[in-house]
Amino acid sequence: MSILESIKSVRNSFRADIDSFPTDPREIESLRTKYFGRKGSLAKLYSTLAELPVSEKPTAGQHINSLKNELQGEFDSKASQSKSDEKGKEELFDLSLPGIPFKCGSVHPLQQTLDEIKSIFKSVGFKATYGPEIEDDYHNFEALNIPKHHPARDMQDTFFVTDNMVLRTHTSNVQIHLMENREPPLRYIVPGRVYRNEAVSYKSYCLFHQIEGLYVDKHVSMADLKGIIDYFVKRFFGENTKMRFRPSYFPFTEPSAEVDIWDKKRGKWMEILGCGMVDPNVFDNVGYDSSVWHGYAFGMGIERMTMLKYGIDDIRLFYQNDVRFLEQF
């Protein structure tokens, strides 16, 4: 075989080999050795040079050199191509990469507070019940000892549906429904939405949530009321919470009080609820004998409780559904 024929055959076999270029690094290495190694095809070609007549050596040498460059170039580019392919594959299957986090819903902070308050009162024997949000004047006001034109109506700015129907301004309406429909003794909490026609600001919103409490039995005193509120405050706000009862006025309780807790963050007393002993007039309105039955009632705002517990200073945040706010709970 002449030297030119040998060159041609090496090129052909090289072409065939790199046509299906291996991916396995060891196979790539052995292909490299086959052509470029110490005993490889190119080395063999160089060794045949020695047998040629002196006059043919330079041209033959040039042919082999350019073959070598040609093959080397092709081999290198295939090899680096295969390396980056291999890398791409590795990345595709990297099981240690962290996944893409899914946004996950959560329980609304008001619902969390409601659930917590409910479970505290349930643990001491209260049952939960509900009542209407669209209410007649009688249940929202009149039966609660708030007659028409009584100045106490101004305490709660009212949304009227008709002359005689309102969006309830408090959950106290359900006190009346409960006592109209059941015989004493009673022990209920009543969560629900209430509405007030107030200018919207950081501290008031046109709707909010309350929990009403009503306990009626034969020997219920103000001491029982203080006991239950004290128990509740310590469980909800923490064992070391400072609390005070402050005399107040509600038409449907007598005596009445408001309860404040000491807010360490703000450095002042904050009102958390209204309460008192059920007024005998209210018992008369529902047909309970007020010489036999006594009771206490309380009402608290769920937004307010949540704001105090978590140091939130704008009530409107509860209604904007901004995920950045909600996901903190």
C-beta of 192 vs 274, nearer to ligand PHE:
274
Minimum gap (Å) between residue 275 Cβ and ligand PHE: 5
C-beta of 42 vs 275, nearer to ligand PHE:
275
CA–CA distances in Å: residue 253 to residues 153, 218, 277: 15, 17, 5
Cβ-closest residue to ligand PHE?
299
x/- site string to ligand PHE, residues 212 to 231, per CB under 6 A? x-------------------
Angstrom distance (rounded) from CA 27 to CA 296: 89
- Near ligand PHE by CB under 6 A: residue from 184, 191, 276, 295: 276
C-beta of 129 vs 253, nearer to ligand PHE:
253
Q: Which of 160, 169, 175 is nearest to 212 (CA)?
A: 175
172 binds ligand PHE (CB under 6 A): yes
275 binds ligand PHE (CB under 6 A): yes
Contact by Cβ (8 Å): 263, 270 = yes
Count of CB atoms within 10 A of residue 216's CB? 24
| Chain position carrying tokens 């509900």 | 130
Q: How many residues bind ligand PHE (CB under 6 A)?
A: 11
Minimum gap (Å) between residue 198 Cβ and ligand PHE: 13
- Near ligand PHE by CB under 6 A: residue from 299, 302, 303, 305: 299
C-beta of 75 vs 250, nearer to ligand PHE:
250
The end-to-end CA distance of the chain, in Å, is 85
- Near ligand PHE by CB under 6 A: residue from 41, 298, 317, 318: 298
Contact by Cβ (8 Å): 210, 301 = yes
Instruction: Give me the sign of the Cα torsion angle 96, 100, 106, 109.
Output: positive
196 binds ligand PHE (CB under 6 A): no
253 binds ligand PHE (CB under 6 A): yes
- Residue 26: half-sphere exposure toward Cβ, Cα within 13 Å: 0
* Tokens encoding 228: 């239950």
C-beta of 64 vs 229, nearer to ligand PHE:
229
| Chain position carrying tokens 């549906």 | 161
x/- site string to ligand PHE, residues 151 to 170, per CB under 6 A? -------------------x
Minimum gap (Å) between residue 322 Cβ and ligand PHE: 28
- Near ligand PHE by CB under 6 A: residue from 195, 215, 250, 318: 250
Q: Is 92 helix (H, G, I), strand (E, B) or coil?
A: helix
Angstrom distance (rounded) from CA 186 to CA 174: 13
Among the candidate windows 20-28, 52-60, 296-304, 308-316, which touches ligand PHE by CB under 6 A? Answer: 296-304
Minimum gap (Å) between residue 323 Cβ and ligand PHE: 31
Contacts of 249 (CB under 8 A, 6+ apart): 152, 256
Angstrom distance (rounded) from CA 244 to CA 159: 32
Residues binding ligand PHE (CB under 6 A): 170, 172, 212, 250, 253, 274-276, 297-299
